[in-house]
Amino acid sequence: MSLLLAGRLTRGGAVVDGWLEVEGERIAATGAGAPPRPPGERHDGIVAPGFLDLQVNGAGGHEVTDGPAALDAIDAIQLEHGVTSYLATVISLDPATVERSLADIAERAADPASPVVGAHLEGPFLSEAHPGMHPPDRLCAPADGVPPYFASEAVRLVTLAPELPGALELIVSLRARGVAVALGHSGASAADVRRALDAGARLVTHLFNAMAPLHHRAPGLAGVALADGRALVGVIADGLHVDPLVLELVRRAAGSRVVLVSDSSPAAAAPPGTYSMGGVGIESDRSGIVVTKEGRRAGTALTLDAAVRNWAAMTEASLAEAIAAAGETPAMALGMPAGLRPGNFADLVLLDGAGRVVRVMRRGRWMS
């Protein structure tokens, strides 16, 4: 496919009138101002890099661990909502289920037709004091032994609690393999967190949720995440997990370090009702809250395009800044090529002026 597309292009949190040319699967050229010849297509809204969601547990009633048919359904939902790349997030489960799921995810990540780019292991190395919806009896410390499935090539991101015995050594080992490390589900002290950043961790998983609260004499993980420029800050912008006022405080402190994530559960893009995640029953209601039967938050009913619109509506961030937080910044977290630049895959999302998805291109091919 060859296409010259003109419109308002986003790059680094700004918008400029410009154009880009697609040749085959990749962006061949870009420029500001008038295109070099009449464009094959002109979009009146915003032309943005496809979104990248680092935390997708499921959607449409399906969980990422439910096998190939479930991944087919989740892939289609993600693409519909402008997500051209995502990490299938595997929570704390029995080793056999994780191994089977990682094999499915690895096959999907090798398929150029799928938006899956790898796996995010959220567990089992999480704090028993801050488990979220993870059953505490499934949690352990790296010093107790690292399961063989951590060596899977599908693993691109691992969330762990840095205060656990053996955590720092595991961070060093993962980073040596090119696996990104996020800190979360943690009661770590500020000193623990700084040591983890020194060891190579560079992301914080769903700030304020499943972690010790920010205290003026014990800043902990949340405090360091806001203050330390090395940390990219994962945020669930649904207005339910973090109050909109606090979202604005996060924006002012972290700015371009914010990474929007959906943390979507099987309840995302599905009617309110009862679902299952990691063998745990969860319920969603019309307000968008998703909880276990004990009332613990269990992911979200959020899609990443809605998070983009929420970030722009609930904070003083511009829509272009919100788009960057859902595309370029998470790509940098994984060390992936980011943005509308020559040589990158032609993964695009066309948005209207309100940030609603109009059309999606993945690897040079329109999805609809």
Neighbouring residues of 238: CB distance < 8 A, sequence distance ≥ 6: 288, 300, 301, 302, 306, 307, 310
Question: Does the annotation count 263 as an active-site position?
Answer: yes
Catalytic residue among 53, 75, 238, 263: 263
For residues 291, 325, 309, 246, the Cα torsion angle rounded to the nearest 10 degrees is 60
Place of tokens 């604005």: 248
Q: Is the dihedral of CA 30, 156, 198, 136 positive or negative?
A: positive
DSSP-derived letter for residue 213 is: P
Cross-strand partners of 283: 274, 291
Picking from 284, 326, 293, 330, the residue whose alpha carbon sits closest to that of residue 309 is 326
- C-beta neighbour count of 15 within 10 angstroms: 18
Whole-number Å distance between alpha carbons of 292 and 281 = 6
Cross-strand partners of 211: 186
The SS3 of residue 60 is coil
Burial 272-283 (b: 16+ CB within 10 A, else e): eeebebbebebb
Whole-number Å distance between alpha carbons of 84 and 363 = 9
Tokens of 267: 């309840």
CA distances from 329 to 19, 166, 237, 242, 305 (A): 22, 29, 15, 20, 15
Enzyme catalytic residues: 263
